[in-house]
Structure 1
Amino acid sequence: MAQEALSGIPHYYLYGDQGADVELDFLHMEPIRDRSGPHDWRIRPHTHPDHMQVLLVKSGGGTIRMEEQILPIPVPGILVVPAGIVHQIDFNPGTDGFVVTAALGCLKTAAASDPRLLKAAERPAVYPLEGTGVSIPAVIDTFEWLHREFIWSAPGRRTAIMAQYMRILVVMLRLNVTHDDPGIAAPDRDYDLLVRYRALLEAHFRSERSLVFYANDLAVTQARLNAACKARAGKTASDLLYERIVIEAKRYLVYTESSVAQVAHLTGFDDPAYFNRFFTQRVGVSPGAFRKQALHQEA
């Protein structure tokens, strides 16, 4: 898609949701009809800067455009839309299936045991299920089971959701192995730079807060790095760095018993008071208040 047009492409968490306050380091799932039906079965061009999507199309079909490629949607089929990829979907009316939208943090957690799972999720692709050797009933059952767990509030819900999501990633990996050419052109240089920057953040965000460090390691100027992040994620390089720190802090606050001072240290802050101000400014509540709210919601 032409570079000059990217600035006008909406960036969403879920299609049509403009709210910048959406915080989700997990995943969301819904039937295709729930969002596409009210939009006359057309999902207009947009991107998900911090989330990847995988769709199961059980019936119906249509076309999907990812970057410059327009491809028919196979039925049954799997569509993989990595974070930052501009895409548009025109479904046939009545199309049935599911959409799974996963935060990058959730994806990395699920793929931690096998780096190939992450590579498969980073490859934009349209996969038919017929003739691949993959069990179609098993794939459909996995998506349906994930949807049941997503809408229920049963004990072990989060673990069950992650288990089914990992099964989906395995399906994507096996389809990736059997398809040398998924039919999608390689992303542009801005996308490539954003992906490499995010990988570098994962390795250094606790200790390196200077964009000079990241730009030098990527062999680009700070201005070039910022331009790529704005074009593909709709945010500055600093925004992405600070968001990654906040996500890690939230994880410690929700899933560990570490004190706020300990969380500050674990996320690279020498001064707990500065960490408190940093977190409060970006989240809207103090670390202690965030922890209380999260524990109340889980209760």
Structure 2
Amino acid sequence: MAAAAEGRIPHYFLYGDQSADVELDFLHIEAIRERSGPHDWRIRPHSHPDHMQVLFIRDGGGTIRMEDQTLDIHPPAVMVIPAGIVHQIDFHAGTDGFVVTASLGCLRSTSVGEPRFEAAAARPAVYPLEGTGLNIPAVDDTFTWLHREFIWSAPGRRTVIIAQYMRILVTILRLSITRDDPGSAAPSRDYDLLVRYRALLETHFREQRNLGFYADALAVTRARLNAACNARADKTASDLLHERILIEAKRYLVYSESSVAQVAHLTGFEDPAYFNRFFTQRVGMSPGAFRRQLHRSRQ
């Protein structure tokens, strides 16, 4: 896997675009070949901090690496890449389909009245469509129709685009339920608190804040925050904080050429030795050993 330039993992709205798109706060769709073809069908490691993606793979296939897991793509398939997930895609030459990139604001507004859409969109996954019971031609038609409306400037364009995007969210919700059958529990106060805590972590996890800081910011006690995390994530609030730090550390170890000391600094540790102990205790190996193991596995 190619390392990111200058030790930094690129952040894009659309892959390779450094500037904001004209509809950055809305939604974009394009054929996979339009961007992947000119890049020799390889999308190198990057993430979209404020946008999530849904891809429909009609023909072709390949592999996608999301964080430290590699998944095969067997078309027809739908892929979900949540906001902030570092990913790399190696398509087979000539792969056909569409990629939809939507802002988190668009996702949230489309999910009003059905919060499970956001939960489904937050789960990185590759869903083969064969054998799911879904109407595959209808899924194909949804992406094709969205692409047509995106290109045209016909009356009612925005409304139709949102309607087709909602159909896509329904598709990934049903696929996520079919895959694991997690049930359809209604959102609760615990869920809401967990979501707000995760959002707060994204802003402050590099600052070495203690649990009291997060509880105060959320206007709850530490016990209440822990209870919500245990109820909805089966982990303590501290576990989630440490997990988020480790995810970021692993990203830099896997996707960049930064030294272990630099990774420590990038994840908020002033003392690289303390970072080494923190990482080793929770991963079972040192940062250097973790990097070497992953490099060997890719050879």
Residue in 1 that maps onto 2:80: 80
For residues 214 and 137 of structure 2, the distance between their equivalents in structure 1, rounded to whole angstroms, comes to 45
Q: Give deviations 1:131-190, integer Å, cap 9, x for gaps.
A: 001100000000000001100001110000000000000000000001129xxxxxxxxx
Q: Where in structure 2 are the equivalents of 1:171-190 lying within 5 Å?
A: 171-180=171-180
**Which amino acid is the alignment partner of residue 61 of structure 1?**
G
Tell me the CA shift for residue 74 of structure 1: 1.6
Residue in 2 that maps onto 1:117: 117
Mapped pair 1:91 → 2:91: yes
DSSP 3-state at the match of 1:153 = coil
CA contact (8 A) 1:13 1:22 kept: no
Q: Where in structure 2 are the equivalents of 1:212-227 lying within 5 Å?
A: 216-217=216-217
For residues 56 and 43 of structure 1, the distance between their equivalents in structure 2, rounded to whole angstroms, comes to 16
Tell me the CA shift for residue 198 of structure 1: 6.8
Q: Give deviations 1:233-264, integer Å, cap 9, x for gaps.
A: xxxxxxxxxxxxxxxxxxxxxxxxxxxxxxxx
Tell me the CA shift for residue 85 of structure 1: 0.3
Q: Which has the higher contact order (CA 8 A, sep 6+)?
A: 2
Mapped pair 1:156 → 2:146: no
**Which amino acid is the alignment partner of residue 70 of structure 2?**
I
DSSP 3-state at the match of 1:63 = strand
DSSP 3-state at the match of 2:158 = helix
Residue in 2 that maps onto 1:55: 55
Residue in 1 that maps onto 2:166: 166
Residue in 1 that maps onto 2:18: 18
User: Paired residues, what number?
Assistant: 206
For residues 152 and 141 of structure 1, the distance between their equivalents in structure 2, rounded to whole angstroms, comes to 16
For residues 120 and 90 of structure 1, the distance between their equivalents in structure 2, rounded to whole angstroms, comes to 24
Residue in 1 that maps onto 2:263: none
DSSP 3-state at the match of 2:65 = strand
CA contact (8 A) 2:13 2:21 kept: no
DSSP 3-state at the match of 1:179 = helix
Tell me the CA shift for residue 216 of structure 1: 3.3
Listed as ranges, the gaps of 5+ residues in structure 1 are 182-193, 202-211, 233-299
Tell me the CA shift for residue 217 of structure 1: 3.0
CA contact (8 A) 2:76 2:129 kept: yes
For residues 7 and 89 of structure 1, the distance between their equivalents in structure 2, rounded to whole angstroms, comes to 20
Aligned-CA RMSD value: 3.5
Q: Give deviations 1:50-95, integer Å, cap 9, x for gaps.
A: 0000000000000000011111102000000000000000000000
Tell me the CA shift for residue 215 of structure 1: 7.2
1:148 to 1:13, Cα distance in 2 relative to 1, 3 A: same
TM-score (norm 1): 0.61
For residues 135 and 6 of structure 1, the distance between their equivalents in structure 2, rounded to whole angstroms, comes to 45
**Which amino acid is the alignment partner of residue 68 of structure 1?**
D
For residues 195 and 89 of structure 2, the distance between their equivalents in structure 1, rounded to whole angstroms, comes to 23
**Which amino acid is the alignment partner of residue 112 of structure 1?**
V
